[in-house]
Amino acid sequence: MKSNQELIEAATAARENAHAPFSHFKVGAALLTTGDEIVTGCNVENASYGLTLCAERVAIFKAISENKKDFTKICVVADTDALTPPCGACRQIIWEFCGDVEVLMANLHGEGETFQMSELLPKAFDAKFLK
C-alpha cells in the first residue's frame, strides 16, 4: 500500500502543473485507488472564475474517466501555513465518488493532518435521498 508520503509527493508534483494565473493559488491532489494506484489532479482556473475546477475534482474526474471507481484516500497539498481542506463542492464530490475515505491535507512545510470524509462533511447528501 502506498504511504502517505508517496501521496504527498504525488500531490506536490501535480501542484506544479496547476493553471492558476489569476489567484496564483496552486493546489495538487493525489487520489489512491483500492488497487494501490495514484491518480493526480491540479486546479485549473478560468477567466470566468465560476468554471474553475479544484485539484480534488480534477483527480476524481480523471480517475472516473480512466474507469477507476474505488478509492481509499485523497491527499490535498497547497503552499499555505494552515492546512487547506477541500472546499464545499469538492467535499460533495469526494463523498459521492469516494465515500468516507481518509482525507490527508499537507503543505509544503512538511505538515500534514488526516481526517475521515465524514468529519469534513457530516450529514452528507447523496443518492440515498433520491429514492
Catalytic residue among 37, 56, 102, 111: 56
Catalytic (active site) residue 56? yes
36/1 Cα distance (integer angstroms): 6
Q: In whole angstroms, what separates CA 128 from the centre of its chain?
A: 23
- Burial bucket for residue 24 (CB in 10 Å: 0-12, 13-18, 19+): exposed
By annotation, the residues acting in catalysis are: 56
